Amino acid sequence: MRNFNANKEFIISLFLIMVSYYCSSQVGVRNAFDTRNINNITFDVSPTESNNDNSVINGNPFLTPLINGFRYNAYLDEIVDSKGKVTNVLEVKLGDYLFIKKKFYTIWNKKSSNGYLIDVGEESYIRIQKIIRNDYNPRMNNKSNKRFEEKITYYRQIGDKIKQVKKNEFDKAHFFIQLGYIQSALRNYSSEGFKNRNSVYFGLGRIFHVKKSIDLIGHFFYSKNGGYQYYGELEENGKKIILYNTIGLEFLLRKELKKITLFTGPRTNFAFKREQRKASRRFYGFRFRDEYTSLENSLKKILPLGATIGFSFILLESINFEVKYNRGISVLSKNNFEKTRLNSLQTGLTYRF
């Protein structure tokens, strides 16, 4: 038991560390869609312009210097003239970039917004805003006391709408986490009639985009499998639980259709816990003893092969709901006369970073 608890704590700690590490590339000062890497965006001006130095931009709401009589006020989200008055310009080129006023949809929001986007080509846009810092103190004059911070978000023309996307939306690989409900059964394990065990599973994986609608998925997850049965003996009753807790490794081939995604592939399980727990209770409800019986001599530690099939669909941007069924192919029992196999049905959510 102590070794299992230590292994379990190590797995959970490793999972949290990996989630934190791989999420950090998408987390900004304000939310998960910010970035501060906008040094490659420059606004070239002609020598005849008078107010084109950095002093006009730093510490002020302007994103650009004065170019052809216009500049972008990133705090008000307006194109203004040399005197700072708001103009009715819907489209203007400042340096090498086209500022255009468009209707767009922010992530997880069905209502549209209007504002200026920077057209960077290939139906892609960025939006840069200046926001007053929460820790800004007007009485301080040091260099670290900046009034504004810049926030950048990314947009893409998807169908007939311009929608917000993540910075890495079109990368060739993405990490994801998953959390859900699993119902497992040890088929042909015992004649006592154990029922399916219900529990939760959680995991971490990576998606590799092969083609436009075909992906390869590799991930591992922790789940509690087995079965249970209620019993009654003399003056006490209770619950027998088969504890077969595993780390699963799965490789899936995924095909995206219009509204759903289909996937299939093999699975391997490694058992961290193989025992039977007898939770005894008196009729008035108080538990007074638990008995543990090792199943290491009857159940295998490694299940080399199982087959998974399932489908998923999008709930929100980056959040999918999935249903998958896994049928055990490898025999679980060490007794050659028993054909015990591990089957499971999973339903849960995945979040793609």
pLDDT at residue 181, as a whole number: 96
Beta bridge partners of 185: 343
Q: Across residues 70-82, what is the average pLDDT?
A: 91
Burial (0-12, 13-18, 19+ Cβ within 10 Å), 83: exposed
What are the residue boundaries of the structural domains of the chain, listed by start?
33-165, 171-352
Three-class HEC string of 188-249: CCCCCCCEEEEEEEEEEEEEEECCCCEEEEEEEEEEEEEEEEEEEECCEEEEEEEEEEEEEE
pLDDT tens digits, 89-102: 999 998 888 999 99
pLDDT tens digits, 175-186: 999 999 999 988
| Lowest-confidence pick of 60-64, 74-78, 219-223 | 60-64
Nearest one of 296, 307, 244 to 270, comparing CA atoms = 244
Torsional class of 163: left (φ above 0), alpha (ψ -120 to 50), beta (otherwise): beta
pLDDT tens digits, 101-118: 999 999 888 899 999 999
CATH (one of 3.30.70.980, 3.65.10.10, 3.40.50.2300, 2.40.160.20) for 171-352:
2.40.160.20
Whether pLDDT at 2 is above 50: no
Report pTM.
Answer: 0.72
Can you tell me the distance from the alpha carbon of 219 to that of 267, in angstroms, rounded to the nearest whole number?
Answer: 10
| Lowest-confidence pick of 17-31, 64-78, 152-166, 302-316 | 17-31
Whether pLDDT at 262 is above 80: yes
Q: Is 245 in contact with 225 (CB distance < 8 Å)?
A: yes
Question: Could you give the percent of the chain with pLDDT greater than 70?
Answer: 77
For residue 324, what are the contacts with CB-CB under 8 A and spacing of at least 6?
263, 308, 309, 310, 311, 345, 346
